Amino acid sequence: MPLASTRLLNLIALLCVAAVAVALVSQHVFGLRPCAWCVLQRLIYLAIAVVCWLGVLLARFSALRQLASAVAAALGIGGMMAAWYQYNVAAKMFSCDQTFADRFMVHSGLDAHLPWLFGIFASCMDARVHVLGVEYSIWSLMLFAVLALMSLIALAKRR
């Protein structure tokens, strides 16, 4: 079993779960209300975690582990795009209502069935927050970039 790549996939999944945990603490303890793009990024983090853990579970099948790494990298790139859009476009709009993130989250039913995790409670303009002088969405973009890079490294690792 390729130990290095499974450890890397585990680390990626743990970082994703930690990112969502930080977002939930920010929301439920510190009162930062999430926008549609924020909760879409939460969903992407959780999808990356699930894909990575599936890759760990199926690590004895090299092709499936590599597929999991590739899918995680693609999701990481998608997360970067979502964070970039939130920072550069949506955060400057009075309302992110009817943007892709809003439509996707509402039509999926996740915001209604799991409002504590995926509820949309602010516009993107209202959700702009700085942590240590850097906007929250930029922190997310940087983490997605690290996760995508780690996924590509896991993909490249052999026995």
Q: What pLDDT, in 10s, does the model give residues 93-140?
A: 666 667 887 888 888 988 888 888 888 877 776 677 777 888 888 999
Q: What pLDDT, in 10s, does the model give residues 25-49?
A: 999 999 888 988 899 999 999 999 9
**Mean pLDDT score, 62-91:** 92
Nearest to 65 by CA among 105, 7, 22: 7
Q: Over the chain, what is the mean pLDDT?
A: 88
Query: What's the confidence (pLDDT) of residue 88?
Result: 85
Global pTM reads: 0.90
| Range name among 44-53, 77-86, 118-127, 138-147 with the lowest pLDDT average | 118-127
Q: Rounded to whole angstroms, how far apart are CA atoms 67 and 109?
A: 28
Radius of gyration of the chain (CA): 16
Query: What's the confidence (pLDDT) of residue 79?
Result: 97
Q: Rounded to whole angstroms, how far apart are CA atoms 134 and 116?
A: 25
Q: What is the domain-level CATH number for residue 112?
A: 1.20.1550.10
Highest mean pLDDT among 13-17, 93-97, 118-122, 154-158: 13-17
pLDDT > 80? residue 85 = yes
* Tokens standing for residue 65: 């582990």
Q: Rounded to whole angstroms, how far apart are CA atoms 79 and 57?
A: 24
Query: What's the confidence (pLDDT) of residue 2?
Result: 57
Query: What's the confidence (pLDDT) of residue 1?
Result: 43
What domain count does the chain have? Answer: 1
Beta bridge partners of residue 106, listed in sequence order: none
Q: Could you list the residue range(s) of the whole structural domain that residue 18 is in? A: 3-156
